[in-house]
A and B are shown apart, each in its own frame.
Chain A
Amino acid sequence: MPRNSIQPAVGPETTAIRLPRKRMSKWELYSRRFRRNRPAVAGLVIFAVLVLFAVVAPLLARYDHIELDFLNLGEPPSGEHWLGTTSAGNDTFAQVAIGLQRSLMIAVAVSVGTTVISAVVGTAAAYFSGMFERLTLLLIHFLMVVPTFLLLAMFSNDSGGDWRTISLIMILIGWFFPARVIWTMALSLREREYVHAARYMGVPGMKIVLRHMLPNIGSLLVINFTLGVVAAVMIETGLSFLGFGVKIPDVSLGSLIGSGANTITSAPWLFYFPAAALTLLTVSMALVADGLRDAFDPTSAAGGRA
């Protein structure tokens, strides 16, 4: 309870004696609030299982994903091949595991890259305003008219389907749309009193951007990140479907779903297993995002009072 008068003896000594306790850090607080949200924890578990599967399964699998078993061509799931085989004799279990690994790496790398670049550029443009803002917006507007998917297809084909090149190009063509959205969001933050307050305290500009502006669009960034994962998987699928994406013998969920879709009536396992992995991946990401937003958002009712 607040006291309305000041006690006479206030000084470093008296305060320290009255308050023998440790301060809880911000991250402890966030994690405590996150753990209160059951679906989010479930999402995190699913995501962890998927990551674990992508890392461990290739080590456990009886067959390599490029190895061809000519005795089992296009077989449904069995004790020998847990998730069946393709018409060429590839083990679907190994392929799904490797495909998931590839897709995860691309999606997470791209989503992290675009979110970080767009957030920093967008908020910095809003905060610093003036010439910097005008030049940034000019660049963004110019990039918006460039046919990016075509560029992506050309470069990825040129690199022979190397997933690192694909991720890099996807980051380079993906950051500016969210950056512009974030810029508009940050415009209103720039006029907030606590931003003025920080400036009047003498906090340097870039620190204000990182400490006051970015966290306050945090929930947007988290959603952006999740959608970014989903979108990256989609783009990569599209590329693979057109034949510009990850190339055989390397596989990704996108290329597996693409080829599985052709045989959905004759060999449904080729479609359903990678599709299930993809669905689990996106759903778990959405749940995690929801939990993170509630944990970070002090006004959210779900988080409760810390």
Chain B
Amino acid sequence: MTNPLLSVRDLKVSFPSETGTVDAVRGISFDLKAGRTLGIVGESGSGKSVTSLAIMGLLDENVRISGSITFDGQELLGKSDKQLSAIRGNGLAMIFQDPLSSLTPVFSIGDQLIEALTVHRKLSKRAAWARAVELLETVGLPNPERRMKSFPHEFSGGMRQRVVIAIAMANKPKLIIADEPTTALDVTIQAQILDLIAKAQSETGAAVIMITHDMGVVAKTADDVLVMYAGRPVEKAPVHELFHRTRMPYSIGLLGAIPRVDKAEKQPLVPVKGNPPLLINLPDACPFASRCPIAIDACHTREPDLVDVGNEKMGEHHAACIRSHEITDGGLIDGRRVFPLPDVSERALAGVPREDRPVTLEVRNMTKTFPLMKGAFLKRKLGEVHAIRGISFDIREGETMAIVGESGCGKTTTLLQIMDLVEQVDGDILIGGTSVADVRGGHAERTLRRDIQIVFQDPMGALDPRMTVADIIAEPLRAIGTKKAESETRVDELMDLVGLDPSHSNRFPSAFSGGQRQRIGIARALATNPKVVVLDEPVSALDVSIQAGVINLLDELKAKLGLSYLFVAHDLSVVRHIADRVAVMYLGAFVEQGSVNEIFEDPQHPYTQALLSAIPIPDPDIERTRERIVLTGDLASATDQSGGCSFASRCQLFKVLPPEDQARCLGEVPPLTGPENHRNACHFR
């Protein structure tokens, strides 16, 4: 029996605030042994980041911390900042979420690495330099010697995160805390970074605390899992235990709310109703009781302790629920589901074949290039960025078309082209049969805009904070000249439709939670009875349990109102759940296009294959055994106009092709070929 490397006992953290003391962490205990990975999962505000900051000793002075944190035999709480600095970065290292802001922009990455090395031990300049180069090589940065002198802005997000990991590894730490290390990155990059963290761990023998909201990442990386809710751990178990023998309703809800990229059936997701409680003056009751479908009276009288519910065979398993002994495997209680499945409404258009439905939005050969200018006074053109290179698609009534791709692939530009009603040089955009080229004058434009509305990604930024919800939802109605009384009844109707209480209509957006704000955005988009709703990553800013509710709402609205959606997302699991047709976009062009089941079951283009295999699946058995294609490198530059396949530089198929076929990849742009419901742009598929 070895001693644990890190031992946290009854850690409590509270912040003073104007409205009262916020108890961000309310008693958390765990042990972590060297070489193990602990996954801490929970929604925003559950106290997972505060826990990590408390371990690092990075919290403010006015924060009250009690309990005990023992690291490597030393008590960390009560140490001065100076004493902690000797440990931080040396024995303890941290990888932050945002690689953009965790590197100083004014120093080269070489300087920052050398600083991390020399601050804790005496090293000659030359030795430090050599070690830094070695580290960059370990994290897989090409040309490390040359890259030492580069500045953070010269790197992509994934590359920067590699540098951050190199800095974290610099002093061979015993414990690495990774706080949402891949949340800001694309899936293919996420797979690379997770592999890299695993590599760093095996090389240094460190323990890792992996903080994340993504159950897939936990399933892939963690040995033990701690589920946090309202500042307390509610379930603690080895990873297989937690995923297969879940005992706490919140964890069951969290797992049920995730759309799965590997499951085809279109059953509705199971949302967890309500919102997490405010952590101020919490009563002595189960904090989850108000959202819990199996809550009984006893839940409201006392907060349940974290008790052992495991058996000898399966090892330790702790859960904080007084009914956990009644819950059986698969999230069942008395043979029924803890979270009952919501009803699915029948699709009005389900019986009508696709060809017989009217086309609501059609895009023909859309292109967009941005000129690349240089010079402050006399601008000269250096080249062109090909943001979109000739894409075509159509959406029929009652259909969801999804465009997926990594950041920078041109999906947002596509949306903006449509929403700005940009006239195409050698193509066209038709909304409900009307070409944007025919739109002249303000009135005609307003009439056309009735038919196409947009829901934005950020639920806060898309709502004017100075307008009441009623005014926000009524705005599109006022723009088309609806009478005041008429628009007021319509507002109530719409709020009802998206599941908001219409009596809250004179509140400001700040009084609503993220999920509710997104519902307001959806209500606004539906105000004019549009034919097409453009959804720009509508759920990516929401927590998992909230996200499920919004996805279900979108599904129901589509079924009820016969809407068409143009859905843009990077999350393929969500796309698989909601979309009927998918187009995979890479560097401004579609590489694969077709119906959702065809593409997810039988991906043909190498890029689609890599994209699908990069997504972590929230099931440790599947996740750890399946074959994975990890792409090397980043998205190529969109300025290149080499005249070959744009994916060739990262393609795993390209590498195994004979030279004459490779020449074809590099010399000839592959067209989109194949039958209507599954086309791909690869010469050899």
A interface list, Cβ under 8 A from B: 1-7, 10-12, 15-16, 19, 21, 23-24, 26, 29, 192-194, 196-198, 200-204, 211-212, 215-216, 218, 296, 298-299, 301, 305-306
Which of B154-162, B305-313, B464-472 has 4 or more CB atoms under 8 Å from chain A? B464-472
Contacting pair B479 A201 (CB below 8 A): yes
- The complex places the Cα of A196 from the Cα of B454 at a distance, in Å, of 10
Which chain A residue lies CB-closest to B443? A202
Residue in B452, B461, B496 whose beta carbon sits within 8 Å of that of A10 in the complex: B496
Question: In residues 339-355 of chain B, which contact A (Cβ within 8 Å)?
Answer: 342-343, 345
Question: In residues 483-524 of chain B, which contact A (Cβ within 8 Å)?
Answer: 488-489, 492-493, 496-503, 505-511, 515-516, 519, 524
- The complex places the Cα of A1 from the Cα of B465 at a distance, in Å, of 21
B interface list, Cβ under 8 A from A: 18-19, 271, 273-274, 342-343, 345, 419, 442, 445-446, 449-450, 452-454, 456-458, 461-468, 470-471, 475-476, 478-480, 488-489, 492-493, 496-503, 505-511, 515-516, 519, 524, 528, 549, 552-553, 556, 560
CB distance from B188 to the nearest CB of A (A): 27
Given contacts A5-B342, A23-B470, A23-B506, is CB(A194)–CB(B462) below 8 Å? yes
Interface of A is mostly: loop
CB distance from A33 to the nearest CB of B (A): 10
- The complex places the Cα of A23 from the Cα of B468 at a distance, in Å, of 11
- The complex places the Cα of A192 from the Cα of B466 at a distance, in Å, of 13
Residue in B274, B461, B496, B553 whose beta carbon sits within 8 Å of that of A192 in the complex: B461
CB distance from B517 to the nearest CB of A (A): 11
Contacting pair A305 B463 (CB below 8 A): no
Given contacts A201-B475, A298-B509, is CB(A16)–CB(B492) below 8 Å? yes
Which chain B residue lies CB-closest to A192? B461
What residues of chain A lie closer than 8 Å to B505, measured between beta carbons? 23
Which chain A residue lies CB-closest to B521? A197
What residues of chain B lie closer than 8 Å to A301, measured between beta carbons? 18-19
CB distance from A31 to the nearest CB of B (A): 14
Residue in B273, B498, B508, B524 whose beta carbon sits within 8 Å of that of A197 in the complex: B524
- The complex places the Cα of A203 from the Cα of B475 at a distance, in Å, of 8
Given contacts A2-B500, A193-B461, is CB(A298)–CB(B476) below 8 Å? no
What residues of chain B lie closer than 8 Å to A16, measured between beta carbons? 489, 492
What residues of chain A lie closer than 8 Å to B496, measured between beta carbons? 6-7, 10, 15
Contacting pair B499 A6 (CB below 8 A): yes
Contacting pair A298 B466 (CB below 8 A): yes
Contacting pair A2 B479 (CB below 8 A): no
Given contacts A26-B468, A299-B510, is CB(A200)–CB(B454) below 8 Å? yes
CB distance from B340 to the nearest CB of A (A): 11
Given contacts A4-B552, A202-B479, A305-B511, is CB(A15)–CB(B466) below 8 Å? no
What residues of chain B lie closer than 8 Å to A21, measured between beta carbons? 503
Given contacts A6-B560, A19-B503, is CB(A12)–CB(B456) below 8 Å? no
What residues of chain B lie closer than 8 Å to A197, measured between beta carbons? 454, 456, 462, 524
Contacting pair B466 A215 (CB below 8 A): yes
Q: Other CB < 8 Å A-B pairs besides A202-B445, A215-B466, A298-B510, 19 of them?
A: A2-B519, A3-B499, A5-B343, A6-B496, A12-B493, A16-B489, A23-B470, A24-B506, A192-B461, A194-B463, A198-B475, A201-B453, A202-B479, A212-B467, A218-B466, A296-B466, A298-B465, A299-B465, A301-B18
- The complex places the Cα of A215 from the Cα of B442 at a distance, in Å, of 24
Find the residue from A2, A23, A196, A204 having the highest chain B CB count within 10 A: A2
Given contacts A4-B273, A23-B506, is CB(A216)–CB(B453) below 8 Å? no
- The complex places the Cα of A5 from the Cα of B500 at a distance, in Å, of 10
Find the residue from B345, B475, B552 having the highest chain A CB count within 10 A: B475
CB distance from B22 to the nearest CB of A (A): 14
Given contacts A215-B466, A216-B465, is CB(A306)–CB(B508) below 8 Å? yes
- The complex places the Cα of A29 from the Cα of B466 at a distance, in Å, of 12
- The complex places the Cα of A229 from the Cα of B673 at a distance, in Å, of 70
Which chain B residue lies CB-closest to A302? B18
Pull 23 A–B residue pairs with CB atoms less than 8 Å apart, ordered by A: A2-B273, A2-B499, A2-B501, A4-B499, A5-B342, A6-B345, A15-B489, A192-B461, A193-B457, A194-B462, A194-B464, A197-B524, A198-B464, A200-B453, A201-B449, A202-B446, A203-B478, A212-B464, A215-B464, A216-B465, A298-B509, A305-B511, A306-B511
- The complex places the Cα of A3 from the Cα of B489 at a distance, in Å, of 20
Residue in B19, B449, B499 whose beta carbon sits within 8 Å of that of A202 in the complex: B449
Contacting pair A11 B456 (CB below 8 A): no
Contacting pair B499 A15 (CB below 8 A): no
CB distance from B379 to the nearest CB of A (A): 14
What residues of chain B lie closer than 8 Å to A26, measured between beta carbons? 468, 471, 506
What residues of chain A lie closer than 8 Å to B445, measured between beta carbons? 202
What residues of chain A lie closer than 8 Å to B524, measured between beta carbons? 197, 201
What residues of chain A lie closer than 8 Å to B467, measured between beta carbons? 211-212, 215
Which chain B residue lies CB-closest to A8? B345
- The complex places the Cα of A48 from the Cα of B446 at a distance, in Å, of 46
Given contacts A197-B524, A200-B419, is CB(A10)–CB(B497) below 8 Å? yes
- The complex places the Cα of A4 from the Cα of B503 at a distance, in Å, of 17
- The complex places the Cα of A197 from the Cα of B342 at a distance, in Å, of 32
- The complex places the Cα of A197 from the Cα of B442 at a distance, in Å, of 16
Contacting pair B475 A15 (CB below 8 A): no
Given contacts A23-B506, A26-B471, A298-B509, is CB(A4)–CB(B462) below 8 Å? no
- The complex places the Cα of A298 from the Cα of B468 at a distance, in Å, of 10
Contacting pair B506 A306 (CB below 8 A): yes
Find the residue from A7, A197, A306 having the highest chain B CB count within 10 A: A197
Which chain B residue lies CB-closest to A197? B462
CB distance from B245 to the nearest CB of A (A): 27
3 A-B pairs closest in CB distance: A202-B446, A202-B449, A298-B508
Given contacts A201-B449, A306-B506, is CB(A5)–CB(B464) below 8 Å? no
Residue in A2, A196, A204 whose beta carbon sits within 8 Å of that of B516 in the complex: A2
- The complex places the Cα of A306 from the Cα of B552 at a distance, in Å, of 30
Which chain B residue lies CB-closest to A212? B464
- The complex places the Cα of A15 from the Cα of B466 at a distance, in Å, of 26
CB distance from A301 to the nearest CB of B (A): 5
Contacting pair A4 B453 (CB below 8 A): no
What residues of chain B lie closer than 8 Å to A5, measured between beta carbons? 342-343, 499, 552, 556
Contacting pair A2 B515 (CB below 8 A): yes
Contacting pair B476 A201 (CB below 8 A): yes
Given contacts A4-B271, A193-B461, A305-B511, is CB(A29)–CB(B468) below 8 Å? yes
What residues of chain A lie closer than 8 Å to B345, measured between beta carbons? 6
Contacting pair B497 A203 (CB below 8 A): no
What residues of chain A lie closer than 8 Å to B475, measured between beta carbons? 198, 201, 203
What residues of chain A lie closer than 8 Å to B528, measured between beta carbons? 201
What residues of chain B lie closer than 8 Å to A305, measured between beta carbons? 507, 511
- The complex places the Cα of A200 from the Cα of B464 at a distance, in Å, of 14
What residues of chain B lie closer than 8 Å to A24, measured between beta carbons? 506
Find the residue from A21, A201, A203 having the highest chain B CB count within 10 A: A201
Contacting pair A12 B506 (CB below 8 A): no
CB distance from A36 to the nearest CB of B (A): 15
Residue in B458, B493, B499, B508 whose beta carbon sits within 8 Å of that of A193 in the complex: B458
Which chain A residue lies CB-closest to B497? A10
Contacting pair A200 B342 (CB below 8 A): no
- The complex places the Cα of A192 from the Cα of B456 at a distance, in Å, of 11
Residue in A6, A11, A29, A193 whose beta carbon sits within 8 Å of that of B506 in the complex: A29
Find the residue from B18, B271, B449, B556 having the highest chain A CB count within 10 A: B449
What residues of chain A lie closer than 8 Å to B457, measured between beta carbons? 193
CB distance from B443 to the nearest CB of A (A): 9
Given contacts A23-B488, A216-B465, is CB(A202)–CB(B476) below 8 Å? yes
- The complex places the Cα of A212 from the Cα of B463 at a distance, in Å, of 10
CB distance from A298 to the nearest CB of B (A): 4
Contacting pair B462 A1 (CB below 8 A): no
- The complex places the Cα of A6 from the Cα of B556 at a distance, in Å, of 8
Contacting pair B464 A10 (CB below 8 A): no
- The complex places the Cα of A84 from the Cα of B213 at a distance, in Å, of 75
CB distance from A150 to the nearest CB of B (A): 33
Find the residue from B271, B464, B480, B498 having the highest chain A CB count within 10 A: B464
